[in-house]
Structure 1
Amino acid sequence: KIFRAKFSSITGPEIRKAFEKMGKPNKNWSDSVEARKILDLKIGVAFTRFQTRYFIEKYGQINQRSLVSYGPCQTPTLGFCVRRNDERDWFKPETYWTIFVTIQQPTWESALRLRWNRGHLFNNQVVTMFYNTLKERSTITCISIKKQKTTRKKPLALNTVSLLQSASKGLHIGPKETMRLAEHLYLSGFISYPRTETTTYPKGFDFNGTIRALSHDSSWGYYAQRLSQEGLSPPRKGADAGDHPPITPVSYPTRELHGNERRLYEFIVKHFLATLSPDCEMEETSAEFEINNERFYANGSHVLSWGFMDIATWHKVDEHNFPSIVVNSTLPVHKVWMESGSTQPPSFLTESDLIALMEKHGIGTDASIPQHIGNIEEREYARVEHESRVLKPSRLGYIYIYIYMYM
């Protein structure tokens, strides 16, 4: 007789629990995996042979490997990169103009810049006309001020896609390398299984036990101890995909971690602690001003309680302290000026952007997304710039996609 044990972390309690609740293997699951392997192999081999011969006959040898591989997920992944670059190439910038006003009081730390309610206009003569009616004005009136408390929600529990995006954007570690490191941490018994779509913690999760195990580290131990003393904030309710629990630390490393492995483990720990922390509370101020029947506005924000951002420092908040102003007060104008600019093309596609597009359109799975992105780089279809983590198609990548577009 054959039974199957299911567990998501390599810890004694988890494995004992799995062996106490073993079930029979699901033959349908096994057959579907085997069928997918056979289809991927046959389609991949057939199309790769066809493409390689076609490209060499038409264009000669255009890469060092003399091989133009095909993959049902690799091709649309590359297609996203090519399309974004096309959008940038086809983009035609337009010049626009706007008006700014600054006001200043002796007791203020700095001048307050006011933005035009009309935004920016693409007609220079019209903006110049408005500017001429304002440039000689010496005072401006505050007609409304609104203050409201807002909340920046703490993050959901960590799933694979969020891990890949965060590692690329914040740690400059590519998806394929991130999964290699995560799998090594998992096999070492330091984190839970790193391939999951779930963003909600299971019932009965031992938060306190996990936090106690993390409380002696010099980087985050102080915060873990503070959470234990002040009490945990209930985590947000995420999505249960029915696969594995979210990615969490399960034990403190019994060996010294170095380099990117240490950085990734630290991120997973701090993200976990952030999910059990209070939200960030802010006070936001918006004010409207009038000068010669034209309206301008200014905004300010002030953090009341940092909450989870005390540990998740990669989440940024721009504080702009708003000066003390009374409604209906008249203030001296410091400066009025026109400013020009131009519309900007869409930014290059980053790994994080590409992961989001693949998830949105169902290209690959959380487990295979890193491999597909790695493939288009290794097979010379695109290259990734290390610091910015943007993807740029190669000449081969362009030809590959355009041949399919015009077939």
Structure 2
Amino acid sequence: MKLVVSEKNIAAKRIAEILAVGKPKSDKVGATAVYRFRRDGEDWVSIGLKGHILGVDFPLKLAYGDRGWESVWPDDRTAPASIPEALPVPPWESRSKPFLASGIDLKPWKVASLPYLVWAPVGKSPAEVEIVRSLKKLAKEADEVIIATDFDREGELIGSDAKGLVREVAKAVTVRRARFSAITKDEIERAFSELTEVDEDLAEAGGSRQDIDLVWGAVLTRFLTMAKYAGFGNVRSAGRVQTPTLALVVEREQERDRFEPETYWQVKARFAAGDGADEADAFGGGHATDRFKAEADAEAVMAAVEGHDTGTVTSVDRTQRRVPPPTPFNTTALQAAAAAEGMSPARTMRVAETLYMNGYISYPRVDNTVYPPSLDLTGILHTLADVPVYAGYVRGLLHAGALTPTRGKQETTDHPPIHPTGAGDPDKLKPEEWKLYNLVARRFMATLSGAATIEGTKVAIDVNGQPFVARGDVLVEPGFRAIYPYGLKKDETLPALAEADTVAFLGAELLEKQTEPPKRYSQGALIQE
């Protein structure tokens, strides 16, 4: 029997459906769902974990004896512990907690135990006891075990932990690794035909992060909590990501507190081509001095233009600028773009995970912003052509010649940037799933498109010696903007005007404003920091 170990139950089910000859049979081993199927004349079983099935923690206590310090774990096993010689050893002057006759108790939240907790070893124990039991039972029956967890640091660590548990009960069984970036038939079939080994170096990188989270979070959280209970401080929790993020928010808030607003004045005006009878020809402008620091200067402008109903165009300048297409999505860019569309980063990742598991997009937790040469860009476009709303644009891309995608600054080799892997159907996907899929699909097509061209027009108008300026932008060559409208400003069209033309002056308005402090971080802006 071949045993496939996935990170989650839904992945185990999807992989079984892809690999099976016929339909997989749902079953249970203990309380854990599994999927049994036949392939290549053999019995296969697919089991899903619940992420990390082994949890990390500190020992119950540190014991000191003839062999020095040892850690003592819940199952009564002991292991050497490297505690600095500078820290005191038993016998203690105090007999109260956390001090024990032979060592120190690490479970009570006591200030005296913190110096020892910092140096205490980190160990692992089952966090999902039933799944661990089921995995070991199946491993005893297996001829080969295939680790099919996500291919990133966390997934490799989960796979390595699963491999270790398998080895506890089946030391000689072959354990291989399937690596894939999308849960689609082609990708899964390729991954299972090119099995490799678990990358223990990558797993150790994930383990180091896990250990740092525990040491930083547990020790500092205990200290800060006890400081609060002691009557000072108002922070109770700390973490490797949480604390630096909090610092960014606090620094921005301090900037806002220190900010002193300054008052300024603006003169805004309305104009119209011709005699101004047609409101469709009206357009706005402002005095050439954008901000007046003295109200009297702004009032002088108002007095100068009062009673006048025409202005003269003194110059018309037109310039064009090219806006390059966006780079491929990595996780941070996806979260930022989705946040601009009203989806929180946390919600974005939950929906992205669902789309990934159901074969609509590639693996969503990536740093890479460069498509690898092996990615079949043309094949993905053919897939998107099955989505009616994209079909016409896809045909244009395919007929335009060789595809030249944009490249971001971050290039890694574990996963390609986030891209569509299946044809989404708005009638079958939930609204938020379609919203995110549509964003990913349109971004992918945008990265294969040309630049957009925007024509900017600046019109200078004189009203009784006072200079005013009107500006407009028009998208003259859509380029990638034809498929990727996100963040696109509405055209600000000015009527056709030439130097020396007379325009109707419809009046001016004096506005009093104040400078504003730096904005608070939005969720999208914060993750980009």
**TM-score, normalising length from structure 1?**
0.76
Match of 2:452 in 1: 280
What secondary structure sits across from 2:512 in the alignment? strand
* CA distance in 2 between partners of 1:18 and 1:155 (Å): 30
On the 8 A contact 2:304/2:466 being kept in 1, the answer is no
SS at match of 2:505: strand
Q: What residue number does 1:299 align with?
A: 471
Check the 8 A contact 1:97/1:120 in 2, yes or no: yes
Give the C-alpha shift of residue 164 in structure 1. Answer: 0.8
CA deviation profile, 1:204-255 (whole Å, cap 9, x unmatched): 4222221222223344344434544555763222234214211011123599
Aligned counterparts of 1:23 and 1:75: Cα–Cα separation in 2: 38
Aligned to 1:156: 327
With over 3 angstroms needed to count, the CA separation of the structure-2 counterparts of 1:240 and 1:95, relative to structure 1, is closer
> Matches of 2:495 and 2:362 in 1, distance apart?
48
Match of 2:375 among 205, 211, 218: 205
- Runs of 4+ residues over 6 Å off in structure 1: none
The structure with the greater share of residues assigned to strand is 2
Q: Tell me, yes or no, if structure 1 residue 99 matches structure 2 residue 267.
A: yes
Please give the per-residue CA displacement for 1:167-222, whole angstroms capped at 9, x wherever unaligned: 2220x222222222222322222211111122221114222221222223344344
| Residue number among 260, 285, 303 corresponding to 1:132 in the alignment | 303
How far the C-alpha of 1:113 sits from its partner, in A, is 2.4
What is the deviation of 1:267?
A: 1.9
Map of 1:56 onto structure 2: 229
Distance across 1 between alignment mates of 2:443 and 2:184: 21
Contact 1:97 1:340 in 2 (8 A): yes
Deviations 1:254-306 (A, max 9, x none): 99322422322222122212222333333221122334554221112222233
Q: Give the whole-Å Cα distance in 2 for the aligned partners of 1:111 and 1:36.
A: 60
Say if 1:346 and 1:39 are closer, same or farther in 2 by CA, change over 3 A.
closer
Question: For the pair shown, which has the larger CA radius of gyration, 1 or 2?
Answer: 2
Are residues 237 and 125 of structure 1, via their aligned partners in 2, closer, same or farther at CA, if it must alter by over 3 Å? same
In structure 2, distance between residues paired with 1:158 and 1:178: 13
In the other structure, the counterpart of 1:176 is 346
1:99 Cα shift?
Answer: 2.0
**Counterpart Cα distance in 2 of 1:241 and 1:356:** 17
Q: Which runs of 5+ in 1 are unaligned?
A: 358-407
Q: What do residues 74-114 of structure 1 show as CA deviations (whole Å, max 9, x unaligned)? A: 01212222333343344433321122333322376232322
Is the aligned partner of 1:247 residue 2:418? yes
Tell me the distance in 1 between the aligned counterparts of 2:515 and 2:424.
50
Report if aligned partners of 1:198, 1:244 keep a CA contact under 8 Å in 2: yes
Determine the C-alpha separation between the residues in 1 that align with 2:212 and 2:505: 71
Distance 1:179 1:112, change over 3 A: closer
1:234 partnered with 2:404 = yes
Larger deviation, residues 15-24 vs 157-166: 15-24
Question: Given the superposition, is the C-alpha separation of residues 338 and 197 from structure 1 closer, same or farther in structure 2, using an over 3 Å criterion?
Answer: same
1:11-26 map, 5 Å: 11-18=184-191, 25-26=198-199
Q: Is the 8 A contact 1:198 1:241 kept in 2?
A: yes
Query: Relative contact order (alpha carbons < 8 A, sep ≥ 6): 1 or 2 greater?
Result: 1
1:190 and 2:360 equivalent? yes
Partner SS, residue 231 of structure 2:
helix
The secondary structure found in structure 2 opposite 1:58 is coil
Residue identity opposite 2:438 in structure 1: E
Which residue of 1 is the match for residue 203 of structure 2?
A: 30
- Give the whole-Å Cα distance in 2 for the aligned partners of 1:233 and 1:152: 18
Instruction: Quote the Cα distance in structure 2 between the aligned partners of 1:71 and 1:155.
Output: 34
Are 2:247 and 1:79 equivalent residues in the alignment?
yes
Work out whether residues 95 and 341 of structure 1, in 8 Å CA contact, stay in contact via their aligned partners in 2.
yes
Q: 1:141 to 1:348 in 2, by over 3 A?
A: same
Query: Match for residue 373 of structure 1?
Result: none
Q: Is the 8 A contact 1:280 1:309 kept in 2?
A: yes
* Alignment partner, residue 346 of structure 1: 518
Confirm or deny that 1:289 pairs with 2:458.
Answer: no
- The secondary structure found in structure 2 opposite 1:102 is strand
Q: 1-side partners of 2:498 and 2:429: how far apart?
A: 56
Q: For 2:270, what is the secondary structure of its paired residue?
A: strand
Question: What letter matches 1:37 in structure 2?
Answer: Q
Q: Percent identity?
A: 29
Q: In structure 2, how many angstroms separate the alpha carbons of the residues matched to 1:121 and 1:276? A: 46
Distance 2:180 2:256 in 1: 46
Contact 2:356–2:363 (8 Å) recurs in 1: yes
Q: Which stretches in structure 2 are left out of the alignment for 5+ residues?
A: 1-173
Correspondence for 2:315 among 144, 161, 181: 144
What amino acid maps onto 1:95 in structure 2?
A: T
Contact 1:211–1:224 under 8 Å retained in 2:
yes
SS at match of 2:320: strand
Does structure 1 conserve the Cα–Cα contact (< 8 Å) formed by 2:454 and 2:475? yes
Closer, same or farther in 2 for the Cα pair 1:261/1:293, shift >3 Å? same
Q: In structure 2, do the counterparts of structure 1 residues 333 and 38 end up closer, same or farther at CA, with 3 Å as the change threshold?
A: closer
* Structure 1 residues 113 and 17: alpha-carbon distance in aligned structure 2, compared to 1, 3 A threshold: same
Contact 1:135/1:337 (<8 A) preserved = no
Q: Is the 1:232–1:276 contact (alpha carbons within 8 Å) kept by the matching residues of 2?
A: no
Q: Aligned ranges for residues 314-329 of structure 1 at < 5 Å?
A: 314-329=486-501
Task: Give distance in 2, aligned partners of 1:49 and 1:337.
Answer: 59
Verify: 1:258 aligned to 2:430, yes or no: yes
| CA root-mean-square deviation | 3.0
- In structure 2, relative to structure 1, the CA distance for the partners of 1:33 and 1:100 (3 Å cut) is closer
How far has the Cα of 1:54 moved from its partner? 1.3
Q: CA deviation at 1:163?
A: 0.8
Tell me how many residue pairs correspond in the alignment. 351
Q: Which structure: greater helix fraction?
A: 1
User: What's the offset of the Cα at 1:145?
Assistant: 1.2
CA distance in 1, matches of 2:216, 2:509: 63
Q: Tell me the distance in 2 between the aligned counterparts of 1:164 and 1:118.
A: 39
Q: Which residue of 2 aligns with 1:312?
A: 484
Provide the TM-score with structure 2 as the length reference.
0.60
